Structure 1
Amino acid sequence: MGPYWMNYFVHVVPICVTDSQVLKCLAKLTYEVQHMRKELLAMKNSLKCACNGSSSPAPELKSTLPLSTEEEMAIMCDEVKEGMAMDALVNTLSVAGGDTLVKVVVNIMRKLMTNDLAKVYSACGRKGKKSLVALPVYKAIESAVRKNIVGATDCDVRAKVSRYLACAMDREGGERKEDVYRQQCLGIYWRCVRSADS
Protein backbone atom coordinates (compact mmCIF):
# COMPACT_ATOMS: atom_id res chain seq x y z
CA MET A 1 0.00 0.00 0.00
CA GLY A 2 1.12 3.53 -0.76
CA PRO A 3 1.13 6.54 1.49
CA TYR A 4 -1.98 7.38 3.49
CA TRP A 5 -2.94 10.32 1.25
CA MET A 6 -2.89 8.09 -1.86
CA ASN A 7 -5.38 5.66 -0.30
CA TYR A 8 -7.57 8.60 0.66
CA PHE A 9 -7.33 10.08 -2.84
CA VAL A 10 -8.20 6.76 -4.52
CA HIS A 11 -11.26 6.29 -2.30
CA VAL A 12 -12.51 9.87 -2.55
CA VAL A 13 -11.83 10.59 -6.22
CA PRO A 14 -12.86 7.82 -8.59
CA ILE A 15 -10.50 6.89 -11.38
CA CYS A 16 -11.67 8.91 -14.37
CA VAL A 17 -11.52 7.38 -17.81
CA THR A 18 -12.92 10.03 -20.14
CA ASP A 19 -12.35 13.77 -20.45
CA SER A 20 -15.92 14.50 -19.39
CA GLN A 21 -15.46 12.46 -16.22
CA VAL A 22 -12.23 14.33 -15.47
CA LEU A 23 -14.03 17.65 -15.99
CA LYS A 24 -16.88 16.57 -13.71
CA CYS A 25 -14.38 15.61 -11.00
CA LEU A 26 -12.59 18.95 -11.36
CA ALA A 27 -15.88 20.84 -11.21
CA LYS A 28 -16.89 18.97 -8.06
CA LEU A 29 -13.53 19.64 -6.42
CA THR A 30 -13.70 23.32 -7.40
CA TYR A 31 -17.16 23.61 -5.87
CA GLU A 32 -16.00 21.91 -2.67
CA VAL A 33 -12.97 24.20 -2.37
CA GLN A 34 -15.15 27.29 -2.87
CA HIS A 35 -17.62 26.02 -0.27
CA MET A 36 -14.79 25.35 2.20
CA ARG A 37 -13.39 28.83 1.52
CA LYS A 38 -16.75 30.43 2.36
CA GLU A 39 -17.00 28.38 5.56
CA LEU A 40 -13.44 29.33 6.49
CA LEU A 41 -14.19 33.01 5.92
CA ALA A 42 -17.31 32.79 8.08
CA MET A 43 -15.33 31.05 10.85
CA LYS A 44 -12.59 33.67 10.56
CA ASN A 45 -15.10 36.50 10.93
CA SER A 46 -16.80 34.89 13.91
CA LEU A 47 -13.41 34.22 15.51
CA LYS A 48 -12.43 37.87 15.06
CA CYS A 49 -15.65 38.91 16.77
CA ALA A 50 -15.05 36.44 19.61
CA CYS A 51 -11.41 37.51 20.06
CA ASN A 52 -12.21 41.19 19.97
CA GLY A 53 -11.23 41.39 23.64
CA SER A 54 -14.55 42.70 24.89
CA SER A 55 -17.43 40.77 26.31
CA SER A 56 -19.92 43.13 24.68
CA PRO A 57 -21.85 41.85 21.66
CA ALA A 58 -20.72 42.74 18.16
CA PRO A 59 -21.87 46.21 17.10
CA GLU A 60 -24.96 46.43 14.95
CA LEU A 61 -25.99 48.97 12.36
CA LYS A 62 -28.97 51.21 12.99
CA SER A 63 -29.60 51.55 9.25
CA THR A 64 -30.97 48.68 7.21
CA LEU A 65 -29.31 47.51 4.03
CA PRO A 66 -29.56 47.88 1.09
CA LEU A 67 -29.79 51.67 1.15
CA SER A 68 -32.35 52.96 -1.33
CA THR A 69 -32.32 56.76 -1.03
CA GLU A 70 -29.76 59.55 -0.73
CA GLU A 71 -31.19 60.39 2.70
CA GLU A 72 -30.51 56.84 3.90
CA MET A 73 -26.96 57.16 2.53
CA ALA A 74 -26.47 60.42 4.46
CA ILE A 75 -27.71 58.77 7.66
CA MET A 76 -25.38 55.82 7.08
CA CYS A 77 -22.42 58.17 6.50
CA ASP A 78 -23.16 59.97 9.79
CA GLU A 79 -23.46 56.63 11.57
CA VAL A 80 -20.23 55.25 10.07
CA LYS A 81 -18.18 58.19 11.34
CA GLU A 82 -18.25 56.40 14.71
CA GLY A 83 -15.64 53.64 14.97
CA MET A 84 -17.97 50.84 16.10
CA ALA A 85 -20.49 51.51 13.34
CA MET A 86 -17.68 51.41 10.75
CA ASP A 87 -16.61 48.00 12.06
CA ALA A 88 -20.20 46.77 11.97
CA LEU A 89 -20.65 47.92 8.37
CA VAL A 90 -17.35 46.34 7.29
CA ASN A 91 -18.32 43.04 8.93
CA THR A 92 -21.80 43.14 7.36
CA LEU A 93 -20.47 43.86 3.89
CA SER A 94 -17.54 41.44 4.04
CA VAL A 95 -19.75 38.38 4.42
CA ALA A 96 -21.21 39.07 0.97
CA GLY A 97 -18.26 37.00 -0.30
CA GLY A 98 -17.10 36.09 -3.77
CA ASP A 99 -14.07 34.33 -5.20
CA THR A 100 -12.74 37.10 -7.48
CA LEU A 101 -12.34 40.83 -6.97
CA VAL A 102 -15.16 41.60 -9.40
CA LYS A 103 -17.59 39.21 -7.69
CA VAL A 104 -16.68 40.52 -4.23
CA VAL A 105 -17.24 44.15 -5.28
CA VAL A 106 -20.53 43.34 -7.03
CA ASN A 107 -21.82 41.40 -4.01
CA ILE A 108 -20.78 44.13 -1.59
CA MET A 109 -22.34 46.89 -3.69
CA ARG A 110 -25.58 44.93 -4.07
CA LYS A 111 -25.67 44.45 -0.32
CA LEU A 112 -24.95 48.13 0.33
CA MET A 113 -27.30 49.92 -2.08
CA THR A 114 -30.14 49.36 -4.50
CA ASN A 115 -29.57 49.78 -8.22
CA ASP A 116 -31.64 52.98 -8.24
CA LEU A 117 -29.32 54.53 -5.65
CA ALA A 118 -26.26 53.31 -7.57
CA LYS A 119 -27.46 55.39 -10.55
CA VAL A 120 -26.98 58.55 -8.47
CA TYR A 121 -23.28 57.90 -7.80
CA SER A 122 -20.06 57.50 -9.72
CA ALA A 123 -16.71 56.74 -8.14
CA CYS A 124 -15.32 60.27 -8.50
CA GLY A 125 -18.50 62.28 -9.10
CA ARG A 126 -18.31 62.68 -12.85
CA LYS A 127 -21.11 63.31 -15.35
CA GLY A 128 -23.26 65.19 -12.84
CA LYS A 129 -23.30 62.33 -10.34
CA LYS A 130 -22.22 62.35 -6.70
CA SER A 131 -18.85 60.97 -5.64
CA LEU A 132 -18.99 57.71 -3.68
CA VAL A 133 -15.25 57.78 -2.94
CA ALA A 134 -15.69 61.04 -1.01
CA LEU A 135 -18.15 59.41 1.42
CA PRO A 136 -17.09 57.62 4.63
CA VAL A 137 -18.99 54.56 3.43
CA TYR A 138 -16.37 54.03 0.72
CA LYS A 139 -13.72 53.22 3.35
CA ALA A 140 -16.01 50.45 4.60
CA ILE A 141 -16.32 49.12 1.04
CA GLU A 142 -12.52 49.02 0.66
CA SER A 143 -12.05 47.30 4.02
CA ALA A 144 -14.76 44.74 3.27
CA VAL A 145 -13.19 43.95 -0.10
CA ARG A 146 -9.77 43.48 1.53
CA LYS A 147 -11.23 41.02 4.04
CA ASN A 148 -12.11 38.81 1.06
CA ILE A 149 -9.30 39.63 -1.41
CA VAL A 150 -6.18 40.31 0.64
CA GLY A 151 -3.96 41.73 -2.11
CA ALA A 152 -6.53 44.16 -3.57
CA THR A 153 -5.02 47.60 -4.24
CA ASP A 154 -6.79 50.95 -3.93
CA CYS A 155 -6.75 51.34 -7.72
CA ASP A 156 -8.21 47.86 -8.29
CA VAL A 157 -11.05 48.41 -5.82
CA ARG A 158 -11.82 51.89 -7.16
CA ALA A 159 -11.86 50.63 -10.75
CA LYS A 160 -14.29 47.81 -9.93
CA VAL A 161 -16.57 50.08 -7.88
CA SER A 162 -16.46 52.65 -10.66
CA ARG A 163 -17.43 50.02 -13.22
CA TYR A 164 -20.27 48.76 -11.04
CA LEU A 165 -21.70 52.27 -10.66
CA ALA A 166 -21.22 53.11 -14.34
CA CYS A 167 -23.22 50.03 -15.35
CA ALA A 168 -26.14 50.81 -13.04
CA MET A 169 -28.20 52.17 -15.95
CA ASP A 170 -27.74 48.94 -17.90
CA ARG A 171 -28.75 46.71 -15.01
CA GLU A 172 -32.42 45.78 -14.73
CA GLY A 173 -33.05 46.95 -18.27
CA GLY A 174 -32.06 50.61 -17.80
CA GLU A 175 -30.91 51.57 -21.30
CA ARG A 176 -32.69 48.65 -22.89
CA LYS A 177 -36.02 50.06 -21.70
CA GLU A 178 -35.10 53.41 -23.24
CA ASP A 179 -34.25 51.69 -26.55
CA VAL A 180 -37.61 49.90 -26.57
CA TYR A 181 -39.34 53.21 -25.84
CA ARG A 182 -37.46 54.92 -28.70
CA GLN A 183 -38.41 52.11 -31.08
CA GLN A 184 -42.06 52.37 -30.04
CA CYS A 185 -42.01 56.14 -30.60
CA LEU A 186 -40.44 55.70 -34.02
CA GLY A 187 -43.08 53.10 -34.88
CA ILE A 188 -45.86 55.50 -33.88
CA TYR A 189 -44.19 58.32 -35.83
CA TRP A 190 -43.92 56.24 -39.03
CA ARG A 191 -47.54 55.08 -38.71
CA CYS A 192 -48.64 58.71 -38.43
CA VAL A 193 -46.53 59.68 -41.47
CA ARG A 194 -47.96 56.80 -43.52
CA SER A 195 -51.55 57.62 -42.54
CA ALA A 196 -50.99 61.30 -43.42
CA ASP A 197 -49.64 60.31 -46.85
CA SER A 198 -52.65 58.16 -47.69
Structure 2
Amino acid sequence: MVESTTVSSSEEIIQRNKGLSMYAVVTLQDSDEVMVAASNWLSTDKKQSYWPPFRSEEKCVEAAQKRFKPETDGRLWEKLNINFHKQLVSFDEAKKEQKEIQEQKERCFLLSTGFTGMLKKQRHENTQEMAKNPLRSVTLASTSRLTPEARLVSTTDMDANLKTLQDIKKIVEENSAMLKKLMKDNAVSDVPSSTSAPSKDVDTILNLPLRTIQDLSRTESELKDPKTRKKYIKSISQLGGFGPRDVIKNIMQHLITDDLANDFNWQGRGHKNAFSRLILADVIREAASIQNVLRVDCETEIKNYLWSIPDRIGRKRPRDYVDEW
Protein backbone atom coordinates (compact mmCIF):
# COMPACT_ATOMS: atom_id res chain seq x y z
CA MET A 1 0.00 0.00 0.00
CA VAL A 2 1.42 3.35 -1.00
CA GLU A 3 1.29 5.73 1.96
CA SER A 4 1.81 8.98 0.09
CA THR A 5 2.64 10.20 -3.36
CA THR A 6 5.15 12.83 -4.40
CA VAL A 7 4.44 15.84 -6.55
CA SER A 8 5.11 15.26 -10.23
CA SER A 9 8.66 15.67 -11.47
CA SER A 10 7.45 18.12 -14.10
CA GLU A 11 6.07 20.36 -11.35
CA GLU A 12 9.42 20.30 -9.56
CA ILE A 13 11.26 21.25 -12.75
CA ILE A 14 8.87 24.13 -13.36
CA GLN A 15 9.26 25.45 -9.81
CA ARG A 16 13.04 25.18 -9.93
CA ASN A 17 13.18 27.02 -13.26
CA LYS A 18 11.03 29.79 -11.84
CA GLY A 19 13.17 29.93 -8.71
CA LEU A 20 10.15 29.25 -6.51
CA SER A 21 10.71 28.11 -2.93
CA MET A 22 10.08 24.39 -2.52
CA TYR A 23 11.01 23.95 1.15
CA ALA A 24 10.44 25.82 4.39
CA VAL A 25 12.29 25.85 7.70
CA VAL A 26 9.85 25.95 10.62
CA THR A 27 9.70 25.38 14.37
CA LEU A 28 6.97 23.05 15.60
CA GLN A 29 5.40 24.94 18.49
CA ASP A 30 4.39 21.84 20.47
CA SER A 31 7.89 20.35 20.63
CA ASP A 32 10.11 23.38 19.85
CA GLU A 33 11.82 21.32 17.10
CA VAL A 34 13.36 23.06 14.08
CA MET A 35 12.31 21.08 11.00
CA VAL A 36 12.34 21.21 7.21
CA ALA A 37 8.88 21.01 5.61
CA ALA A 38 7.76 20.90 2.01
CA SER A 39 6.32 24.28 0.99
CA ASN A 40 3.10 22.60 -0.19
CA TRP A 41 2.41 21.56 3.41
CA LEU A 42 2.15 25.15 4.71
CA SER A 43 -1.07 27.07 5.21
CA THR A 44 -1.51 30.35 3.34
CA ASP A 45 -0.68 32.43 6.42
CA LYS A 46 2.31 30.15 7.21
CA LYS A 47 1.11 29.65 10.77
CA GLN A 48 0.31 25.96 10.34
CA SER A 49 1.71 23.01 8.45
CA TYR A 50 0.46 19.55 7.61
CA TRP A 51 2.76 17.00 9.23
CA PRO A 52 3.38 13.34 8.30
CA PRO A 53 2.12 10.76 10.81
CA PHE A 54 5.08 8.43 10.31
CA ARG A 55 6.79 7.09 13.45
CA SER A 56 10.18 6.97 11.77
CA GLU A 57 12.13 10.24 11.70
CA GLU A 58 13.85 9.06 8.50
CA LYS A 59 10.46 8.58 6.85
CA CYS A 60 9.40 12.11 7.83
CA VAL A 61 12.61 13.53 6.35
CA GLU A 62 12.03 11.56 3.16
CA ALA A 63 8.46 12.88 2.96
CA ALA A 64 9.74 16.46 3.16
CA GLN A 65 12.61 15.94 0.72
CA LYS A 66 10.38 14.27 -1.88
CA ARG A 67 7.56 16.73 -1.19
CA PHE A 68 4.88 14.13 -0.50
CA LYS A 69 1.33 15.31 -0.84
CA PRO A 70 0.03 15.87 2.71
CA GLU A 71 -2.27 12.87 2.77
CA THR A 72 -2.25 9.13 3.43
CA ASP A 73 -4.80 6.92 1.65
CA GLY A 74 -6.78 10.02 0.74
CA ARG A 75 -6.87 11.38 4.31
CA LEU A 76 -5.18 14.71 5.01
CA TRP A 77 -2.45 14.78 7.64
CA GLU A 78 -2.82 16.54 10.97
CA LYS A 79 -2.09 20.28 11.00
CA LEU A 80 0.45 21.53 13.53
CA ASN A 81 1.04 25.10 14.69
CA ILE A 82 4.42 26.42 13.54
CA ASN A 83 6.76 29.39 13.67
CA PHE A 84 7.85 30.08 10.10
CA HIS A 85 11.51 31.00 9.51
CA LYS A 86 12.41 30.90 5.84
CA GLN A 87 11.62 29.37 2.46
CA LEU A 88 14.33 28.04 0.15
CA VAL A 89 14.59 26.47 -3.29
CA SER A 90 16.68 23.37 -2.54
CA PHE A 91 16.49 20.79 0.23
CA ASP A 92 20.22 21.16 0.95
CA GLU A 93 19.81 24.89 1.50
CA ALA A 94 16.89 24.22 3.83
CA LYS A 95 18.91 21.68 5.85
CA LYS A 96 21.76 24.19 6.17
CA GLU A 97 19.34 26.87 7.42
CA GLN A 98 17.82 24.34 9.84
CA LYS A 99 21.25 23.59 11.30
CA GLU A 100 22.07 27.29 11.73
CA ILE A 101 18.80 27.97 13.55
CA GLN A 102 19.31 24.91 15.79
CA GLU A 103 22.80 26.10 16.73
CA GLN A 104 21.49 29.59 17.47
CA LYS A 105 18.77 28.13 19.73
CA GLU A 106 21.40 26.02 21.47
CA ARG A 107 23.57 29.08 22.08
CA CYS A 108 20.63 30.94 23.60
CA PHE A 109 19.80 27.95 25.78
CA LEU A 110 23.36 27.63 27.07
CA LEU A 111 23.50 31.33 27.91
CA SER A 112 20.16 31.17 29.72
CA THR A 113 21.14 28.17 31.84
CA GLY A 114 24.37 29.47 33.33
CA PHE A 115 26.78 27.94 30.85
CA THR A 116 29.46 30.40 32.00
CA GLY A 117 29.74 28.76 35.39
CA MET A 118 30.04 25.31 33.83
CA LEU A 119 32.91 26.46 31.60
CA LYS A 120 34.78 27.99 34.53
CA LYS A 121 34.36 24.78 36.52
CA GLN A 122 35.54 22.65 33.58
CA ARG A 123 38.59 24.88 33.09
CA HIS A 124 39.47 24.58 36.79
CA GLU A 125 39.07 20.79 36.78
CA ASN A 126 41.15 20.44 33.62
CA THR A 127 43.97 22.53 35.13
CA GLN A 128 44.01 20.33 38.25
CA GLU A 129 43.94 17.12 36.19
CA MET A 130 46.83 18.28 33.99
CA ALA A 131 48.88 19.04 37.12
CA LYS A 132 48.21 15.55 38.52
CA ASN A 133 48.74 13.66 35.29
CA PRO A 134 51.07 15.35 32.75
CA LEU A 135 50.66 12.44 30.33
CA ARG A 136 47.08 13.53 29.67
CA SER A 137 47.95 17.18 29.09
CA VAL A 138 47.81 16.83 25.29
CA THR A 139 44.29 15.37 25.39
CA LEU A 140 43.02 17.84 27.94
CA ALA A 141 44.54 20.79 26.11
CA SER A 142 42.03 20.28 23.31
CA THR A 143 39.18 20.64 25.80
CA SER A 144 40.53 23.46 27.97
CA ARG A 145 40.63 26.36 25.55
CA LEU A 146 37.92 28.24 27.40
CA THR A 147 37.23 31.93 26.87
CA PRO A 148 36.97 34.42 29.76
CA GLU A 149 33.53 35.03 31.18
CA ALA A 150 33.45 38.60 30.02
CA ARG A 151 33.84 37.54 26.38
CA LEU A 152 31.09 34.91 26.43
CA VAL A 153 28.49 37.38 25.26
CA SER A 154 29.89 37.56 21.75
CA THR A 155 28.70 35.16 19.05
CA THR A 156 32.28 34.28 18.06
CA ASP A 157 33.20 33.24 21.59
CA MET A 158 30.00 31.25 21.92
CA ASP A 159 30.87 29.33 18.76
CA ALA A 160 34.29 28.52 20.22
CA ASN A 161 32.68 27.30 23.42
CA LEU A 162 30.31 25.08 21.49
CA LYS A 163 33.27 23.60 19.64
CA THR A 164 34.93 22.92 22.99
CA LEU A 165 31.79 21.13 24.18
CA GLN A 166 31.77 19.03 21.02
CA ASP A 167 35.40 18.05 21.64
CA ILE A 168 34.59 17.06 25.22
CA LYS A 169 31.54 15.13 24.08
CA LYS A 170 33.60 13.22 21.50
CA ILE A 171 36.19 12.23 24.09
CA VAL A 172 33.49 11.11 26.53
CA GLU A 173 31.76 9.03 23.85
CA GLU A 174 35.03 7.37 22.83
CA ASN A 175 35.80 6.50 26.44
CA SER A 176 32.24 5.25 26.90
CA ALA A 177 32.55 2.96 23.89
CA MET A 178 35.77 1.48 25.27
CA LEU A 179 34.20 0.92 28.69
CA LYS A 180 31.13 -0.70 27.16
CA LYS A 181 33.30 -3.06 25.16
CA LEU A 182 35.27 -4.03 28.25
CA MET A 183 32.09 -4.62 30.21
CA LYS A 184 30.61 -6.61 27.30
CA ASP A 185 27.52 -4.48 27.51
CA ASN A 186 24.52 -6.06 25.81
CA ALA A 187 23.03 -3.37 23.56
CA VAL A 188 19.56 -4.97 23.58
CA SER A 189 19.41 -5.63 27.30
CA ASP A 190 16.33 -4.42 29.11
CA VAL A 191 18.23 -4.10 32.39
CA PRO A 192 19.49 -0.61 33.34
CA SER A 193 23.26 -0.13 33.10
CA SER A 194 25.51 -1.06 36.00
CA THR A 195 26.29 2.63 36.45
CA SER A 196 22.72 3.20 37.55
CA ALA A 197 22.56 3.56 41.33
CA PRO A 198 18.97 4.44 42.28
CA SER A 199 17.95 4.80 45.89
CA LYS A 200 15.08 2.46 46.78
CA ASP A 201 14.08 4.71 49.67
CA VAL A 202 13.79 7.73 47.37
CA ASP A 203 11.93 5.65 44.78
CA THR A 204 9.39 4.61 47.39
CA ILE A 205 8.81 8.22 48.44
CA LEU A 206 8.42 9.34 44.82
CA ASN A 207 6.31 6.27 43.90
CA LEU A 208 8.53 5.29 40.98
CA PRO A 209 8.26 3.93 38.40
CA LEU A 210 4.99 5.51 37.27
CA ARG A 211 2.64 2.80 35.98
CA THR A 212 -0.62 4.44 34.95
CA ILE A 213 -1.93 7.68 33.47
CA GLN A 214 -3.38 8.41 36.92
CA ASP A 215 0.09 8.07 38.45
CA LEU A 216 1.46 10.44 35.82
CA SER A 217 -1.34 13.00 36.35
CA ARG A 218 -0.66 12.96 40.09
CA THR A 219 3.06 13.43 39.50
CA GLU A 220 2.47 16.29 37.05
CA SER A 221 0.50 18.10 39.78
CA GLU A 222 3.23 17.41 42.34
CA LEU A 223 5.94 18.72 40.02
CA LYS A 224 4.34 22.17 40.05
CA ASP A 225 5.82 22.48 43.54
CA PRO A 226 9.46 23.66 43.23
CA LYS A 227 10.61 21.54 46.20
CA THR A 228 9.13 18.35 44.76
CA ARG A 229 10.55 19.16 41.34
CA LYS A 230 14.00 19.62 42.87
CA LYS A 231 13.67 16.28 44.66
CA TYR A 232 12.88 14.48 41.40
CA ILE A 233 15.76 16.16 39.56
CA LYS A 234 18.23 15.29 42.30
CA SER A 235 17.09 11.65 42.39
CA ILE A 236 17.19 10.88 38.66
CA SER A 237 20.36 12.92 38.01
CA GLN A 238 22.25 10.36 40.10
CA LEU A 239 21.36 7.40 37.87
CA GLY A 240 24.48 7.75 35.71
CA GLY A 241 25.16 6.31 32.27
CA PHE A 242 27.78 6.24 29.50
CA GLY A 243 26.84 9.01 27.08
CA PRO A 244 23.46 10.61 26.26
CA ARG A 245 21.78 7.39 25.10
CA ASP A 246 22.62 5.48 28.27
CA VAL A 247 21.75 8.40 30.56
CA ILE A 248 18.28 8.86 29.04
CA LYS A 249 17.65 5.11 28.92
CA ASN A 250 18.38 4.84 32.66
CA ILE A 251 16.17 7.82 33.47
CA MET A 252 13.22 6.70 31.35
CA GLN A 253 13.30 3.11 32.62
CA HIS A 254 13.51 4.41 36.16
CA LEU A 255 10.64 6.89 35.80
CA ILE A 256 7.94 5.05 33.85
CA THR A 257 7.04 1.50 32.88
CA ASP A 258 7.10 0.42 29.23
CA ASP A 259 3.31 0.02 29.18
CA LEU A 260 2.84 3.62 30.26
CA ALA A 261 5.56 4.92 27.92
CA ASN A 262 3.78 3.14 25.05
CA ASP A 263 0.93 5.67 25.36
CA PHE A 264 3.28 8.48 24.33
CA ASN A 265 5.40 9.79 21.50
CA TRP A 266 7.29 13.07 21.48
CA GLN A 267 4.78 15.24 19.61
CA GLY A 268 1.53 13.40 20.35
CA ARG A 269 0.92 12.26 16.81
CA GLY A 270 -1.75 9.74 15.94
CA HIS A 271 -3.65 8.48 18.96
CA LYS A 272 -0.80 8.98 21.43
CA ASN A 273 -0.13 11.67 24.02
CA ALA A 274 2.63 14.28 23.66
CA PHE A 275 5.54 13.58 26.00
CA SER A 276 7.09 16.95 25.13
CA ARG A 277 4.21 18.79 26.85
CA LEU A 278 4.76 17.13 30.23
CA ILE A 279 6.43 18.89 33.13
CA LEU A 280 8.22 15.57 33.56
CA ALA A 281 9.98 16.17 30.22
CA ASP A 282 11.43 19.43 31.60
CA VAL A 283 12.56 17.57 34.74
CA ILE A 284 14.35 15.00 32.58
CA ARG A 285 16.09 17.77 30.60
CA GLU A 286 17.34 19.41 33.81
CA ALA A 287 18.49 16.11 35.32
CA ALA A 288 20.26 15.15 32.08
CA SER A 289 21.99 18.55 31.89
CA ILE A 290 23.55 17.86 35.30
CA GLN A 291 25.13 14.82 33.65
CA ASN A 292 26.41 17.05 30.80
CA VAL A 293 23.81 15.91 28.26
CA LEU A 294 22.90 18.76 25.91
CA ARG A 295 19.22 19.64 25.47
CA VAL A 296 19.16 18.62 21.80
CA ASP A 297 20.77 15.24 22.59
CA CYS A 298 18.39 14.70 25.49
CA GLU A 299 15.32 15.26 23.32
CA THR A 300 16.70 13.07 20.53
CA GLU A 301 17.30 10.16 22.89
CA ILE A 302 13.84 10.51 24.49
CA LYS A 303 12.29 10.30 21.00
CA ASN A 304 14.40 7.24 20.17
CA TYR A 305 13.45 5.60 23.46
CA LEU A 306 9.73 6.15 22.90
CA TRP A 307 10.00 4.84 19.33
CA SER A 308 11.64 1.65 20.62
CA ILE A 309 8.98 0.88 23.23
CA PRO A 310 6.74 -1.33 21.02
CA ASP A 311 9.76 -3.49 20.15
CA ARG A 312 10.82 -3.65 23.80
CA ILE A 313 7.33 -4.75 24.84
CA GLY A 314 7.29 -7.32 22.03
CA ARG A 315 10.57 -8.80 23.27
CA LYS A 316 9.38 -8.92 26.86
CA ARG A 317 5.95 -10.48 26.33
CA PRO A 318 7.16 -13.99 25.35
CA ARG A 319 9.47 -14.11 28.38
CA ASP A 320 6.65 -12.98 30.69
CA TYR A 321 4.42 -15.68 29.24
CA VAL A 322 7.00 -18.40 29.84
CA ASP A 323 7.64 -17.18 33.38
CA GLU A 324 3.96 -17.53 34.22
CA TRP A 325 4.24 -21.24 33.48
TM normalised by structure 1 equals 0.56
Q: CA RMSD in A?
A: 3.1
Match of 1:98 in 2: 241
Could you say which residue in structure 1 is the equivalent of 2:314? 173
Shift of the alpha carbon at 1:127? 2.2
Amino acid at match of 2:213: E
Contact 2:233 2:286 in 1 (8 A): yes
1:114 to 229, 232, 257: 257
% identity of equivalent residues = 26
Cα distance in structure 1, aligned partners of 2:229 and 2:133: 45
Please report how far the alpha carbon of residue 63 of structure 1 lies from its aligned counterpart in structure 2 after TM superposition.
Answer: 3.5
Structure 2 gaps, min length 5: 1-131, 135-177, 184-194, 319-325
How far the C-alpha of 1:163 sits from its partner, in A, is: 0.9
* Residue 174 of structure 1: how far off its partner (Å): 5.4
Consecutive unaligned residues in structure 1, runs of 5 or more: 7-25, 32-37, 43-58, 178-198
The residue type paired with residue 120 of structure 1 is: D
**Pair 158,105 (structure 1): closer, same or farther in 2 beyond 3 Å:** same
Equivalence for 1:163: 304
* Bigger share in helix: 1
For residues 61 and 76 of structure 1, what CA distance do their matches in structure 2 show? 13
Name the residue aligned to 1:14. none
* Alpha-carbon distance in structure 2 between the residues aligned to 1:127 and 1:64: 29
Q: Compute the displacement of 1:126 (Å).
A: 1.2
Structure 2: which amino acid aligns with 1:77?
A: E
Deviations 1:101-158 (CA, angstroms, capped at 9, x unpaired): 00000000001000111100111111211011101111110011111125x13x2211
- Give, as a single letter, the amino acid of the residue that structure 2 aligns with 1:168: I
CA contact (8 A) 1:96 1:104 kept: yes
User: How many residue pairs are counted as aligned between the two chains?
Assistant: 126
1-structure distance, mates of 2:242, 2:205: 29
Q: How far does the alpha carbon of each residue in 1:158-192 deviate from its partner, in whole angstroms, 9 at most, with x for none?
A: 11101101111000425986xxxxxxxxxxxxxxx
Counterpart for residue 126 of structure 1 = 269
When residues 133 and 5 of structure 1 are mapped into structure 2, their CA distance, relative to the original with a 3 A threshold, is closer
Q: Which structure shows the bigger proportion of residues in strand conformation?
A: 2
Say whether the 8 Å CA contact 1:61–1:89 is kept in structure 2.
Answer: no
Runs ≥4 in structure 1, deviation > 4 angstroms?
A: 59-62, 174-177
Which of the two has higher C-alpha Rg? 1
Alpha-carbon separation, structure 2, partners of 1:5 and 1:60:
39
Helix, strand or coil at the partner of 2:230: helix
Aligned counterparts of 1:116 and 1:84: Cα–Cα separation in 2: 28
Say if 1:60 and 1:170 are closer, same or farther in 2 by CA, change over 3 A: closer
Give 1:61 deviation, angstroms. 8.1
User: 2:206 aligns to what SS in structure 1?
Assistant: coil
Counterpart mapping for 1:4-153 below 5 A: 62-150=205-293, 152-153=294-295
| Structure with more relative contact order (C-alpha pairs < 8 Å, separation 6 or more) | 1
Residues 259, 313 of structure 2: 8 Å contact kept: no
Corresponding letter in the other structure for 1:83 = P
Q: Give the TM-score normalised by structure 2.
A: 0.35
